[in-house]
Amino acid sequence: MTSRIGTSLPDQVARMEKADVARRSRYRMKDTHITLSHGSGGKASHHLIEGLLIPILANPVLDGLGDSAIISPNGNGSGRLAFTTDTYVVSPLFFPGGDIGCLAVHGTLNDLAMSGARPLCLSVGLILEEGLLVEVLERVTQSIADAARSAGVAIVTGDTKVVERGKADQLFVNTSGIGLVPDGADLLPERIQTGDRVLISGTVADHGMAVMLAREALDMEADISSDTAALHELVDTVLAAAPNTRMFRDPTRGGVATSLNEIAGRAACCIRVDEDAVPVKPAVRGACELLGIDPLHIANEGKLLAVIPAAEAHAALAAMHGHELGRDAAIIGEVVPEPVGMVVLNTGIGGSRVLDMLVGDPLPRIC
**Both ends of the chain: CA-CA distance in Å?**
22
Angstrom CA distances, 314 to 139, 271, 278, stand at 41, 18, 16
At what angle are helices 310-321 and 232-241 packed, to 10 degrees? 130
Question: Stretches 18-26, 171-179, 260-268, 318-326: which one binds a second copy (CB under 8 A)?
Answer: 171-179
The single-letter code of the amino acid at 9 is L
Which residues in 33-72 contact a second copy (CB under 8 A)? 33-39, 45, 48-49, 52-53, 56-57, 59, 61-62, 68-69, 71
Q: Which residue's CB is nearer to a second copy, number 86 or number 275?
A: 86
Rounded least distance, CB 251 to a second copy, Å:
16
Rounded least distance, CB 123 to a second copy, Å:
4
d(CA 293, CA 128): 33
Query: Is residue 294 within 8 Å of residue 278, measured between CB atoms?
Result: no
**Which of 9, 18, 19, 31: binder of a second copy (CB under 8 A)?**
31
Rounded least distance, CB 286 to a second copy, Å:
28
Rounded least distance, CB 160 to a second copy, Å:
6
d(CA 303, CA 230): 9
Question: Stretches 151-159, 227-235, 260-268, 300-308: which one binds a second copy (CB under 8 A)?
Answer: 151-159
Residues in the interface with a second copy (CB under 8 A) total 78
Phi, psi dihedrals of residue 260, rounded to the nearest 5°: -65, -35
DSSP 8-state symbol, 163: E
d(CA 76, CA 87): 31
**Which of 126, 296, 317, 345: binder of a second copy (CB under 8 A)?**
126
Which residues in 65-124 contact a second copy (CB under 8 A)? 68-69, 71, 73-74, 79, 81, 83-89, 120-121, 123-124
Q: Which residue's CB is nearer to a second copy, number 158 or number 286?
A: 158
Query: Is residue 265 within 8 Å of residue 341, measured between CB atoms?
Result: yes
Is 150 a binder of a second copy (CB under 8 A)?
no
Q: Which residue's CB is nearer to a second copy, number 3 or number 91?
A: 91
Phi/psi region, residue 217 (left: phi>0; alpha: psi -120 to 50; beta: rest), is: left
Which residues in 270-299 contact a second copy (CB under 8 A)? none
Which residues in 218-247 contact a second copy (CB under 8 A)? none
Rounded least distance, CB 68 to a second copy, Å:
6
Q: Which residue's CB is nearer to a second copy, number 19 or number 162?
A: 162
Q: Which residue's CB is nearer to a second copy, number 131 or number 195?
A: 131
| Residue 4 CA neighbour count, 13 Å, CB half | 13
Draw the binding track, 180-219, toward a second copy (x: CB under 8 A; -: no contact): x---------------------------------------
Query: Is residue 252 within 8 Å of residue 263, measured between CB atoms?
Result: no
DSSP SS3 for 182:
coil
Is 142 a binder of a second copy (CB under 8 A)?
yes
Q: Which residue's CB is nearer to a second copy, number 18 or number 167?
A: 167
Angstrom CA distances, 229 to 37, 246, 282, 302, stand at 26, 22, 21, 5
Across the strands, what pairs with 198?
307, 333
**Which of 174, 201, 203, 245: binder of a second copy (CB under 8 A)?**
174
d(CA 267, CA 265): 6
